A and B are shown apart, each in its own frame.
Chain A
Amino acid sequence: MTETLMSYEEALGSYDPALGLEVHVELNTNSKMFCGCPTEFGAEPNTQVCPTCLGLPGAMPVVNGKAVESAIRIGLALNCEIAEWCRFARKNYFYPDMPKNFQTSQYDEPIAFDGWMDVVVEGPDGEPETFRVEIERAHMEEDTGKSLHVGGSTGRIHGADHSLVDYNRAGIPLIEIVTRPIRGAGGRAPEIAKAYVAQLRDLIVALGVSDARMDQGSIRADVNLSLAPAGSDVLGTRTETKNVNSLRSVERAVRYEVQRHAAILSSGRSILQETRHWHEDTGITTSGREKSDAEDYRYFPEPDLVPVAPSREWVEELRGTLPENPTARRARLQAEWGFSDLDMRDTVGAGALGLVEETVAAGAAPQAARKWWLGELARRANEAGVDLVDLSITPADVARVQALVDDKTVNDKLARQVIEGVLAGEGTPDEVVASRGLAVVSDEDALSAAVDKAIADNPDVADKIRDGKVAAAGALIGAVMKEMRGQADAGRVRELVLEKLS
């Protein structure tokens, strides 16, 4: 079904969006939330399971202390209060990928609550501006299994004949971070949503508590959106868009839902309270489950677990392990790198702050690191429809590519081929240079011979240069580079041409 959309500008003329973000972070603990099963991504199906995470009759959960520690550190990094006493609760609903038919989660007693995060976005005047996102809560829970839908044409749930369930993911620790409704974002709602998730991910990376791979689902965002008539305080009916699994999708999904809601409301119809599914490929949301009154999770305290009561000493000890706060970190890095406000905003906006930082740490000059991530790599991420961090190249690889340029092993053009090779899984930059034979030819005899050949093949051009028309050298340099299949230092070729023809 194709939805009618209102243009984004028109929608914002009549309505104020209210945003809410629920982000699930899969922790990178060795073992699961309530059992000792491993948490490796991509293992053979049902090889990382035990009676507890399979929900076998009689099995019982035991809390992973490291997961509690990570939850507290995330809470503290989000400026939250840490509960002095809290419990796990059962969220009861039936679904085949959930082994016990209840999720062990937290309900009215989350481990962390009442926090905030300042996100940096572009202000109305184009200058960077800080926007405070309030955090309602961060709580601990467990992931579900994964279903493979068989028999349908698309591999999707609809039209499938039956499904195959793998419970390796069931029981992996999740921290669910929920914002308060974000009001007053106006037309910047999509940008703020994206910036929030990007910064949250940076924070998670800095804390070292998750692989933070959106493409592998270790960070998953649900986007709640409602529209209120411009100037009104009354929130409209909200929809909850699931499966928003990249930063660019966060932005696109918010924009799409604003336009869809506005079209429905302006035609006098009302919004259905429902979950929506985001489709990365087509850039639209489709209707999911209706959130009716029948939804009744019958929460109650998990009787198989005892309360979590983190001592204040422990909390303060964990506070001491927190990375620098994001605002201070940005200011410090900007000063260290000598970036302009604009450079800095673009770097943060692209979700590349951490990547640039790591690339610099690996030895690259800050501007060079920025150039790679915001130029060539951004272009390739965009082509592939993934986020920068999800590209299969590490900051250390990027720093090495730059080092190869700096020592003239490769030129700019070859460097891009090196990157292509690394992204294609051909190995490290040095391995790609070797296997693709990309190193610049530095053999002076070979270069000299190639220059002589170009002069002999282009006598007219050679004459012009001899007559002092140095600009004509470009044609000979081109011929040499072609002969050398690009693997020559163009600057050295130019020197040789001019030497020989002077």
Chain B
Amino acid sequence: MSTTKTLHVEGLDNSTDDPSGRAPLILKHDYKSVTDAVCGVVENPKIHPAWALGFLVALGGLGMLFALIVHLIATGVGVWGNNVPVAWGWPIVNFVFWVGIGHAGTLISAVLFLFRQNWRTSINRFAEAMTIFAVVCAGTFPGIHVGRIWLAYWLFPVPNQMLMWPQFRSPLLWDVFAVGTYASVSLVFWYMGMIPDLATLRDRARHPLRRLAYGVLSMGWRGSSRHWHRYERAYILLAALATPLVLSVHTVVSFDFAVSQVPGWHTTIFPPYFVAGAIFSGFAMVVTLAVPARAFYGMKEIITVRHLENMNKVILATGSMVGYAYAMEFFIAWYGGNRYEQFAFVNRAMGPYWWAYWTMVSCNVLSPQIFWFKKARTSIPIMMVVAIFVNIGMWFERFVITVTSLSRDYLPSSWAYFRPTPVDIGMLIGSFGLFFTLFFLFLRFLPMIAISEVKLVMPEPEPGTTAKRETTPLETAPASSN
């Protein structure tokens, strides 16, 4: 806004709280240098050893995941620690964990877009990619949890020789539709946002194969204003559609638990509580990934301290919402006077899984409280530690919900203690391998920052101040033919 004073910022710290103006979101860059910085990562012909090492480690994890899945299918779900009464063990915990992480991307893209939070532009591409990879990891677990995996298509309403149809009154089927819609709409949203940047890469490409690949991916985008007009309308609509979608996905996941009558699962705050928790874990994951990536790829002027601070504020807010929900559950269990409900919660905090419960509370509710201090919000080491704590805590939250309630339900004679098997643990680690394999590939081959959107929030150059017009390098460029 031209009426707002843009504050002057020294160095790389733009986290000022001065209310008399707005701090710049992108530092020391003009249009061209942003393009160069982001495209340079993809165009660099050298493979950095650190990237290669990380990629190989992730690939190893992925290989382990595949091997374990083959083992699982060949042997049966008995290789997991799932038992009766804990029939929903780690696979569901992992599923909810990954789906939760997959929420920040669409939240940053869509919700922050609707709220005109300009700082989203530096991190949205990143977060959307993370969303899709997390949803891929999430989708793996219910897929392999069905037992006879080759019949997984029964989840979908496909006409078949048995004349049978799925049972639409079950929340598990709602999940199929919610997660399926979420994955595909997120993919469309991500891809559509990337088209202009892919066109930039195409036009900069020197090698014909590269130009061909990015040319096909960018679908002939030319930056025409008539196209931009429709593109922007569609982008707003997608944001407006993705916002209720992101709410609905984790809501439906929470229905999986909350429509039942299991004490500790059936409580009405589950939908908003799950959504808040999902955003919480998603933002923590974005911080976990963005901090090393911005340092490694020299993006500190684009993903600035201000961006990180804002994310930490969101982590504090959503972490406290999650704390509110924990408190409400406890209070209402007491207030309602229902002895089963009361037992479930006492058992959570003091039963055999007390260690999981208190890990969860200290990671999710207590650790983000340090973000009340600005020093902590803007300190890279502290935010890394807290973000990793939150990731751990949110995994434990799903563990606590799933396992404590099931292991001690209405029938004391069938109470049992759940223990993961090495296969359970291997699969959790393997899912991280899958996630990071995709993520490393993304960093290498696609623009990790939404170039065209970042330019939108940069101050407009005054006429005559742009870099000297040079024509020489362009003369050497061959005419694009694709």
Does B bind A?
Answer: no
B interface vs A, CB < 8 Å?
Answer: none
A interface vs B, CB < 8 Å?
Answer: none
